[in-house]
Chains A and B, each alone.
Chain A
């Protein structure tokens, strides 16, 4: 069964145009002009139950807007959404009883009261029985190592402690789907790792479907079997992470350190026909760019055969770089992805 089914989802905001200067402000006072800004542009995707899906994109790409529509906070301009079989904004109160939501930037807990008091209040709001609540809480507290934090007021917690409490709060009612909006923002590496492990375990043991947005691609690498990438309100990629890397990383980089001065011309002459590009860094150092079409061993054997080498380093482009590259090229890669997808479709059938 599908946990999330989205079809041609669109969200449009009316934004007031502010004209410049005092005269502009006066004009605005009497006659306002509005711009229609489309934050989410007819996107469609489906997430089956039990999947962990990463939702990435630049700031302002429409990630949060999508999450807010999926959780029933915003009403879409057009399109269909089904989450857990519900239309989120229509049957909101029934629907939200079976989802968990964590917004990294905003607290779900009551600021002044002890964490445990917040949990108790949530138990009543969600109508969880005392017995289930105790069992669930003990389990979560143990897994996230919260023991002695429970009696402290939220305002006295560190960000990492608070974040772990937020997770517990969103899971007390054992939701089928968990929405996380930047859950690791601003956290140190230890807490990040702890949260990632926790989410993985949760998904494995209870089959919780997880949709998370993040700017930290390590979150994605650690957790997600699938990535949806958004740019300017459109989906520009939807698939596995490995595939993303293969598709967009243009090649590998090999750094050479030579024992003696090796001129660029000589290197270029050696590797002519392989389609590589060279960059000289100093007398002894040079970097070679290798497209995926060429074998690393072929290139290496040619270079090592013609020069004296002290050291070699092969650098695989990491996800950060790939994603940065995609963000930067923006719409260009969108059309590239579109062509790629179109080419693939017949093969799939």
Chain B
């Protein structure tokens, strides 16, 4: 309850600071959407050359992409930790966080909350809805419930992995190379995993389970494929919780190793 109040307070403060720089706000929204648009465009180009990708039609792949955008938008809103190492470890702002009575990860997340990214989620939902219609899929009320469950699970998968990555900053002064690397890998999760070789598929499913952010839960709503990864869909919330707990544990362990900066 306390945390819900705090979340609201921080978002209000975000609004107060950021809305004073209106141009900045819109540029961020626009560049976000353009980035997503480029990815979508890429999918469309691929399907100019082939009618199906590993047994997935264009509309299905776009559907998966639309689903992916929903948790991704939520994730970038609430886990905006790209500058964590620089700001909190190198400059030592973690000191301030640690002297306040709220969980430290939560405080860091709140201070960097970035609501404009939610627009991406909204666009994703629209894309999904359009594809849903185009594919002539049946719609049940409980589909919404499942969607909510999958989205939460997917956000937790992302959140867990990036919390763990940020926690590496507690151990090493400059773990700068690893975040872009993972960021690149995560993009693979948006496409049908059966187009990759076995190793990559295994990694994307169980090691860095980015497939649980895109294709696996999305396939639940689609027609069954030969390898039927949709069976795994129901595991999404479980994988999310497991990875988030792992990330949080590494974080909590890392905080004990925090050394502060300068005087």
Contacts and interface: CB of A to CB of B under 8 A. Distances in A.
* A59, A89, A106 interface centre (most CB from chain B within 10 Å): A106
Interface string A105-145: 11010101100010011001111000000000000000000
A93 interface: yes
Contact of B260 (A74, A96, A99, A127): A74
B13 A113 contact: yes
B140 interface: no
Contact of B93 (A64, A65, A106, A121): A106
Contacts of A105: 262-263
B101 A110 contact: no
B202 to A, nearest CB: 31
B100 interface: yes
Contacts of B103: 93
A92 B98 contact: yes
A182 B102 CA distance: 25
A125 B102 contact: yes
Contact of A99 (B10, B95, B99): B99
A96 B259 contact: no
A101 interface: yes
A127 B103 CA distance: 14
Given A106-B92, A106-B93, A101 B99 contact: yes
B9 interface: yes
- Interface size grouping (class) on chain B: 20 to 34
B5 interface: yes
B1 to A, nearest CB: 11
Contact of A97 (B10, B101, B262): B101
Nearest to A173: B101
B244 to A, nearest CB: 20
Nearest to A124: B9
Nearest to B6: A124
Contacts of B22: none
A125 B111 CA distance: 12
Given A73-B258, A112-B17, A96 B263 contact: no
A71 B5 CA distance: 26
A94 interface: yes
A193 B10 CA distance: 35
* B6, B13, B93, B257 interface centre (most CB from chain A within 10 Å): B13
A96 B101 contact: yes
A82 interface: no
A71 B102 contact: no
A338 interface: no
A337 B257 CA distance: 34
B252 to A, nearest CB: 11
Given A73-B260, A96-B99, A110 B13 contact: yes
Given A73-B258, A112-B17, A117-B13, A124 B5 contact: yes
A68 B260 contact: yes
Contact of B100 (A89, A103, A113, A125): A125
A21 B21 CA distance: 47
A13 interface: yes
Interface residues of A, number: 34
B100 A75 contact: no
A101 B5 CA distance: 24
Given A59-B263, A94-B101, A105-B263, A125 B13 contact: no
Contacts of A89: 256
Interface in B4-20: 5-6, 9-10, 13, 16-17, 20
A108 B92 CA distance: 12
Interface string A54-91: 00000100001100100111110000000000000100
Contacts of B96: 103, 106, 108
Interface string B134-146: 0000000000000
A75 B254 CA distance: 11
Contacts of A110: 13, 17
A68 B95 contact: yes
Contacts of B259: 13, 74
B16 A117 contact: yes
Interface string B226-263: 00000000000000000000000000000011111011
B198 interface: no
A101 B102 CA distance: 15
B9 A121 contact: yes
A89 B103 CA distance: 13
A120 B16 CA distance: 13
Given A89-B256, A124-B6, A96 B16 contact: no
B140 to A, nearest CB: 41
Nearest to A122: B100
- 8 closest cross-chain pairs (CB), A and B: A97-B101, A112-B17, A101-B99, A73-B98, A75-B256, A64-B263, A93-B101, A124-B9
26 contacts: A13-B259, A59-B263, A64-B260, A64-B263, A65-B260, A71-B98, A72-B99, A73-B95, A74-B258, A74-B259, A92-B98, A96-B98, A97-B101, A99-B99, A103-B95, A105-B263, A106-B93, A110-B17, A112-B20, A121-B13, A124-B6, A125-B100, A125-B102, A126-B100, A126-B101, A181-B263
Given A64-B263, A124-B5, A125-B100, 9 more contacts: A73-B260, A75-B256, A75-B257, A89-B256, A96-B100, A105-B262, A105-B263, A124-B6, A125-B101
